Chains A and B, each alone.
Chain A
Amino acid sequence: MADLMLTPRNAWADLTVAEIPGATLKPSPTRHRVLFQARERELETRMKAAGMAAPPAILRARMMDDVALLRPGPDEWLIVSEAEISPKWHEIAGPGAIEISHGYAGIEWCGPRVMLALSAGCPLDLHESAFPVGMASRTLYGKSEMLLWRQDHARFHMEVARSYLSAILAFFGETARHLPQS
């Protein structure tokens, strides 16, 4: 049976890019996810001990080395990365590191109309004064929970629980057709 190899089939396997003029949703290349849970000061101490900068504040995200560190709550940090997450992060996190790579799917939203498209399902004020670049927060899109990270004025990264991906793309497909002009 050693000859049998299991091929991965990720959440996007049968799903494709969704777009309307001005807004594109495509699979994020971030494949690896580790959830850190620790009391705030503990993580800071450990990162300092490892010679690293302080972790991001609550509701903020920051690129650190080649991974992104998102902090949706006071005692949790989510690391997302395209490449395998290096063991040093596991060391820092200790027993509170949890591998959740396959439990979520990443969606990249980009284009001048993504803010409007998100507003069909997201109750937060996404104006840059209220949701600036670098902010990351869990909230809702339609009836699906998501973690939204603003990477640029017109670029968002969305993390969604794996089984909600198709519902989110379907909701975008239906609502984006019906957006007003601006």
Chain B
Amino acid sequence: MLLIPCPYCGFPRPEIEFRHAGEAHLMRPEEPASDEAYAAFLYERENPKGIAAERWRHVHGCGRYFNALRDTVSDRILAVYKPGEVRPEVAS
């Protein structure tokens, strides 16, 4: 079970309090968008080997959504930040 530092609660909390909410920073294509662009927005995901930006919700805690950078190789969470904040630079 991972420990996830919730940026609102301010300290690491057990993973079972959280729910994963998919890839972060997905951009809805500017309208009018082509069908291909919209399909990519709906279904195409990065799924990187390495640092992934993803969304989590502290659903059994403060209830807030936030972003996390997780290294999918080591399964370590390298940074967390609030929605709207710039993705921080981290080394894996």
Contact = CB atoms under 8 A, between A and B. Distances in A.
User: Are A and B close enough to touch in the complex, i.e. CB under 8 Å?
Assistant: yes
B29 interface: no
Contacts of B20: none
Interface string B1-39: 100000011100110110000000000000000000000
Interface stretch (B47-55, B59-67, B84-92): B59-67
Contacts of B16: 123, 140
B61 to A, nearest CB: 5
A138 B14 CA distance: 12
Interface in A112-163: 123-124, 137-140, 145
Contacts of A59: 9-10, 62
A73 B60 contact: no
Contacts, number: 41
A72 interface: yes
B64 A140 contact: no
Contact of B17 (A58, A73, A74, A140): A140
B8 A123 contact: no
Given A58-B8, A59-B9, A123 B63 contact: no
A129 to B, nearest CB: 12
B12 to A, nearest CB: 10
A76 B58 CA distance: 14
A59 B6 CA distance: 12
Interface of B: 1, 8-10, 13-14, 16-17, 60-64
17 contacts: A58-B8, A58-B9, A59-B9, A59-B10, A72-B62, A73-B62, A73-B63, A73-B64, A74-B64, A123-B14, A124-B13, A137-B9, A137-B62, A138-B17, A138-B60, A138-B62, A140-B60
